Structures are given as structure tokens and as C-alpha cells.
A = this chain, B = another copy of it.
Amino acid sequence: MSDERFYIGVDLGGTNIASAVVSAAGALSGKSSIPTPRGCNEIADAIARCCRMSMRAAGISCGDVVSVGVGVPGTVDGHGNVLFACNIDMRSFPLAEALSSRLGLPVTLDNDANCAAAGEYLAGCGRGCSSLLCLTIGTGIGGGFVSNGRIFRGFNGCAPEVGHMVIDFGGRRCACSRRGCFETLASASALERMTREYIAEQPDSICAAIAAGRGRVDGRTIFAAMDSGDAGARDVFRRYAEYLACGVTNLVNIFQPELVCLGGGISAQGERLLAPVRGIVEAEDYARVGARRTKIVCASLGNDAGITGAALMGRLNGGNT
């Protein structure tokens, strides 16, 4: 290897741990993945193992690495502790210290949505823009906001919790205890639920046949049904897009970011997802009379955004701002 120094980024998920070696320019190598075990120390062991796999695959050693950054599916403080991450059953655990002692490297933690936003801002669709709101649409809806090179965390490190913005007062109960949260209506899980409800109502639909043929319903089912000419499926998707656009318009009005990027598996649908959302946002956002309008795009780094952002987070002037 040359004198080049590298970073390691880790995406700690509820199901899998993924890591890679990341160059200062944002190039990934040595991507590795292992299942997430149960237990805090077991998770620290597994992350360390995954990082070593990445270094080996990239042909580097610890001496070539500046630091390790971990994206955590939950809240962290500014001192390397995970405060609460329900999907991995971790609460008040000093993960940075646990991992640092295993690897002999400096370790930083951040929320996974912040990492994805940082990754897109530094090396993805947000390069060169002044501010970026990155929404990760999956089981829930995560949000990360970067503005003028600073990541926004709120005074307690928990912002911006956009998934738990109520858009439907008195509506469906959310796991957070509120009713009608954005993520109960516009997450990938919500689209799956709407698809299942449609199939239950229309068991003879093309959509039902596709689901039966595949043996399951997922976030792609409704798009496959639309491709096969199922008009009812188009109605289901249109309703989903209205919910998604409602929350996105709220966030455009609140943050007025130069760019909103939509990430998560559903963003692979590209313009098919974007066009109806963009149509509604552009008709409704409050700054529509002005010359400077927010652009809405799909995330460009896919699942690599979190790893890239975790690795390079140190480049953003962070702190709880």
C-alpha cells in the first residue's frame, strides 16, 4: 500500500453489520457483512470482526486506518455511548470504547440516518449543495439534515426525528405511541400494509396473483402489479405517494433545503416514485412563488451512503447544533 490513509465505515443494522474501507475521496473497498448477534459485547465483537474482514479484503492493516465510524440505528450521545437502539436491544452502552479497545483505533458513533445524509452530502447526490435533507424510507422513515457542512443534531443529539411527525391527526397508532405519524403512512412497511389490504379486498386482482406467485408481499409488489396493468394497484400507489408527498412538503416548508434525497430500497424505483411526489410538493410548498426551489432526487449511494457517511463524518463540523 501507499502512504494513503483510510477510514472504516460501519453500518450497524438490526439484521446485518456491514463495513468497508473508505478512502478520503469516498471510494469503498473491502465491503464485508455478517449477521448482527444479540448482546452488547457480542455486537462489539462482531463489528470488530467485520472491520478486520474489510481491512483484509482491502489489503490494509490497522496502521493504515485513521478512524472507525459506526452508524447506529438509534440515539447516541457525543461521548461514544449508544443511548437507545431498540432494534438491536442496546441501551446506555459505551460502544465506541468497547470497539476501540478491540481494534486499537479511534471510534466515533452517529445515528444511521445522520450517516446516510453525511454520505450523500460528501460523496453522493448532495455533493456541492448547500443543504441536504436525506430521508431513508424503510421499516420507518429516518431523517438526516446537513447544512453548510454541519450536521444537525438538536441540543440533545436526537434531531431530526422526522418519522414521528404526525400528518394525520387521530389516525393510525404508531409504535412511538402517537397517532398518524409520517412513517405509519409513508414508510416501505406502510406501502406493504396498503398492498396487503388491497389484496385482501381484491383477491382476484393481478396484484393478488403476483403476490401468490411470489409467495410474499413486499415493497416491490405494487410496482409489479402496476407494470401488469392493475388499475387498482395504481390507485394504491397514488394514495401512498400522496402521504409521502405530504410529509416531504412539510419538511421542505420547515427546512427549505436545497436538496431532498429519498433513500431506502424504494428509491430504486427512481422517477416512478419521484414524479408523483415532486408534482405534489411543487404545487404545494410555501416557497413556490420564489425563484429558489428545493430539488427532490433519489439517493445515489444506496446502502453505501451509511458506511461512507459513518467513515467520513469527522469532515462535517458536527456538535449538537
Contact = CB atoms under 8 A, between A and B. Distances in A.
Interface in A289-318: 289-294
Contacts of A130: 155, 320
A147 to B, nearest CB: 6
B290 A158 contact: yes
A83 B286 CA distance: 13
A226 to B, nearest CB: 23
Q: Is the interface of A mostly helix, strand, loop or mixed?
A: loop
Given A130-B155, A158-B287, A160-B255, 18 more contacts: A83-B290, A131-B155, A131-B321, A153-B256, A156-B287, A158-B286, A159-B254, A160-B253, A161-B254, A161-B256, A161-B286, A165-B254, A166-B246, A167-B169, A168-B169, A169-B171, A176-B286, A177-B284
Contact of A160 (B153, B254, B290): B254
Interface string A158-189: 11111011111101000011101000010000
A253 B250 CA distance: 13
A9 interface: no
Interface string A248-263: 0111011111100000
For the complex of A and B, 10 pairs with smallest distance between CB atoms: A154-B256, A159-B256, A156-B292, A161-B253, A155-B258, A168-B169, A158-B287, A165-B250, A161-B286, A160-B254
A165 B253 contact: yes
Nearest to A171: B169
A221 interface: no
